[in-house]
Amino acid sequence: MEKLNIETKSKYKLTQSDMVLISMYRVSNGSKEKIPYEEIAISAWKDFPDSFSLKNHPEYPDGSAIPKRVNDRLRPQGLVISLGESFFRLTNKGVEKARKLDNAIRGISKKRGQTYRRLSRDEENFVRHAFTTTAFDLWMNRKKESIIDHDVKLFFQFSTGTKISDRIYKVRFAKTSIEKAKKIGAPNIHELENLAEFLTIAFGLLIGEGKNVKAK
């Protein structure tokens, strides 16, 4: 599914430092994993082409401003840590701020999780998690066309490096957890069930089950 260009589709005011922070959040799947500078530059260029493209050559990325934004703004604020000259990672504070920025510019309002009984701890944890994801918020706000690969990975809790067999296992576990929550009448569980089904169809290649089918 096409990646959302948040620079052109949002009226939310961002500084270039904010853009770098969001790009790091996206490329790391919302984690504190080590990120190569090159991946940040490419992600920033894709999400914010007007701010991270070569002058007069928008088809090429220009990440020359990224180290300065990290060193002058993000690192002093405790949002990012530099690991040598070519690697960076988000801090806990950085992940939280980036998540809020990412949700704000995409028009997402967060909802509180619910409490469920008679589920295993892992099943309950998944259902709690699923109700706080960007994918669910977009679904409830009738913005399913804005759901991207990153949102799907966070929903089913796998990363770019996760093996296909493990991705399939996580998707099946998610559906089983949702089915059990439905049997006890958990609030909004039908919406969550419909979302999970939509994700497995629209992002079939990503999760290892079939092919992508365009959302209708």
Domains and CATH numbers, the chain: 6-105 (1.10.10.10), 121-207 (no CATH)
Which stretches of the chain are assigned E, i.e. beta strand? 35-36, 53-54, 57-61, 80-83, 87-90
- Predicted local confidence at residue 194, as pLDDT: 96
- Predicted local confidence at residue 120, as pLDDT: 84
With beta carbons less than 8 A apart as the criterion, state whether 17 and 73 touch: yes
- Predicted local confidence at residue 84, as pLDDT: 81
Measured CA to CA, the distance from residue 3 to residue 193 in angstroms comes to 24
Q: Looking at residue 88, what DSSP letter applies?
A: E
- Predicted local confidence at residue 1, as pLDDT: 33
- Predicted local confidence at residue 151, as pLDDT: 92
Residues of the chain below pLDDT 50: 1-10, 109-115, 216
Per-chain mean pLDDT for the chain: 84
- Predicted local confidence at residue 117, as pLDDT: 57
Torsion sign, CA atoms 210, 23, 194, 196:
positive
